Amino acid sequence: MASQDPIQEVEGDYRNSKTSFVKGVRMPSVYVYKTGFEEFIDKFQTRIDDVFIVGIPRSGTTWLQEITWQIYNGGKTSSEPIGHRVQFFDEAKYLGTTQPDITTQPSPRLMKTHQPYHTIPKGASDATACKYIYVARNPKDVVVSYYKFESKMAPLTGYSGPFEFFAKMFLEGKTFWGSWLEHVLGWWEHRDDSNVLFLKYEDLKEDLLSQVTIIADFLGKPLSEQVLKRIVKQCSFDEMAKNSEAYWMMTQDNKLPNFLRKGQVGGWKEHFTPELSAKFESEFLSKLEGSGLHFAFE
């Protein structure tokens, strides 16, 4: 996709960040070099044992970071910030400065990203093809969580307008990392690739034990029953919420709320008007018809 003007004012009221277009994807300018991130992606050499956790923000990527890290560490827990244990690939601007340089980190590299399928680094051959764990969540819950995040937590971006306008931007693909529909469908098309595991937040909520088993098998790291049960317990919402040091975010008023907010399915009902719900149905959910992708909403 042709590059657009790399830095533009974002529509709406993002307080602190302008938009950079990276291969056509809206990203917060604070995270990326002006145009250098495209080059960073192009030059990034994947390794066969790399694992990327992928999803549009607020879909459960932090949850997957923790689960994956624990699978690789035999069910250990840690209060070390999750971003140090499973690095955020999209924060390229900080890599090599306040963050270790991901390009030289030892294997296996566990990374998190919000990139859509077309921009994610891919190995040039089977010998360098890495693994991707994608997590999708119903868009009504994503937009509520995303709005709460941007208006209350996000220190670098920050949004100060009303929810209705944020939801409009989200429907139009104008929030950071772009259109929910394109993102999810772009990855869904690759769900049967042997190096892609496509998961749904709602399935993790419904039956974490079977989902952790699936993830461990996909990673080639089968778990004993004891470790499996430990990970399931440690990665429940309540247990992770206790480990606030690992997931804190500096807020705009410098308080430290937990990054984990409610962790529920269906919380959107408290925030949506019937009209907005109908818009999500027509703009997003009806367009999933025929794709085989469905979400639980209640």
Contacting residue, 29, 115, 119, 145, with ligand A3P by CB under 6 A: 145
Rounded to a whole number of angstroms, the minimum distance from the CB of residue 30 to ligand A3P is: 17
Nearer to ligand A3P, 6 or 57 (CB): 57
Contacting residue, 34, 76, 84, 262, with ligand A3P by CB under 6 A: 262
Chain residues 105-134 in contact with ligand A3P, contact rule CB under 6 A: none
| Per-residue contact string for residues 236-255; x = within reach of ligand A3P by CB under 6 A | xx--x---------------
Beta carbons of 199 and 135 less than 8 angstroms apart: yes
- Cα separations (Å) of 267 from 222, 235, 284? 34, 20, 18
Residues with a known catalytic role:
114
Contact between 261 and ligand A3P per CB under 6 A: yes
Contact between 230 and ligand A3P per CB under 6 A: no
Rounded to a whole number of angstroms, the minimum distance from the CB of residue 2 to ligand A3P is: 29
Chain residues 265-294 in contact with ligand A3P, contact rule CB under 6 A: 267
Nearer to ligand A3P, 145 or 211 (CB): 145
How many residues appear in the chain?
298
Nearer to ligand A3P, 142 or 223 (CB): 142
Contact between 175 and ligand A3P per CB under 6 A: no
- The residue count for binding ligand A3P (CB under 6 A) is 20
The phi, psi pair for 52, rounded to 5°, reads -105, 130
Rounded to a whole number of angstroms, the minimum distance from the CB of residue 113 to ligand A3P is: 11
Contact between 263 and ligand A3P per CB under 6 A: yes
Contacting residue, 235, 246, 276, 285, with ligand A3P by CB under 6 A: 235
Rounded to a whole number of angstroms, the minimum distance from the CB of residue 112 to ligand A3P is: 8
- Cα separations (Å) of 57 from 76, 126, 178, 240? 26, 29, 10, 18
Contacting residue, 48, 249, 260, 288, with ligand A3P by CB under 6 A: 260
Nearer to ligand A3P, 35 or 244 (CB): 244
Rounded to a whole number of angstroms, the minimum distance from the CB of residue 261 to ligand A3P is: 3
| Per-residue contact string for residues 39-68; x = within reach of ligand A3P by CB under 6 A | ----------------x-xxxxxxx-----
Beta carbons of 234 and 226 less than 8 angstroms apart: no
Beta carbons of 171 and 222 less than 8 angstroms apart: no
Rounded to a whole number of angstroms, the minimum distance from the CB of residue 61 to ligand A3P is: 3
Residue with tokens 């941007």: 150
Q: Which residues bind ligand A3P (CB under 6 A)?
A: 55, 57-63, 141, 145, 148, 235-237, 240, 260-263, 267
